[in-house]
Amino acid sequence: MAAMPRIDLDALEPTNATGYPPPFDEPVAGRWQRKIGQAARLTELGARHVVLEPGAWSSQRHWHKGEDELLVMLSGRAILVEDDGETEVGPGDIIAWARGIENGHHLINRSAEQCSFVCVSAGDEQGGSYPDIDMMWDAKSGFMHKDGTPY
């Protein structure tokens, strides 16, 4: 028997866990994620609710080979960083990244308040890369240096 489909965020434990090797884990220590896709038993869509504490990053700046991503800002303000520069985003803004576009992106909360958003994804988890640091990722080997040696 399925519950009503509105996600009860209070019933989901937020986690700040990350698989990033040190020191790349430090900027995401203030990123609190709720796995809403898993809670709703979605298998085709990945979906997370994310709260960024002041100073926290959404991720290391990255792009995906095989996955589309889309983010809806719910509250607060954040700075979107890409190759081309920075853009401030706020509530109601929708941001989308097509798979395979090699322009890394992430959000940084430079404000004094929390911000929150929903991030969804779909496609093939082939891997991706991190333009600002010596790290790349693929589904088989996990996090690696850019010469292919594992972390």
Site residues for a second copy per CB under 8 A: 2, 4-7, 9, 36-37, 39-45, 47, 49, 66-70, 72, 74-75, 80, 82, 84, 87, 89, 92-99, 101, 103, 105, 118, 120-124
In the complex, least distance from residue 50 CB atom to a second copy, rounded to whole angstroms: 12
Kindly list the distances between the CA atom of residue 108 and the CA atoms of 27, 43, 76, 140, in Å, as whole numbers in the listed order.
9, 29, 11, 29
Give the nearer residue to a second copy in terms of CB position, either 36 or 136. Answer: 36
Give the nearer residue to a second copy in terms of CB position, either 7 or 133. Answer: 7
In the complex, least distance from residue 26 CB atom to a second copy, rounded to whole angstroms: 26
Query: CA torsion, points 149, 141, 118, 66, in degrees to nearest 10?
Result: 100
CA distance 94 to 72: 5
Give the nearer residue to a second copy in terms of CB position, either 21 or 42. Answer: 42
Give the nearer residue to a second copy in terms of CB position, either 20 or 97. Answer: 97
CA distance 146 to 6: 42
In what order do the strands lie in the sheet containing 106-108? 85-89, 78-82, 106-108
In the complex, least distance from residue 150 CB atom to a second copy, rounded to whole angstroms: 28
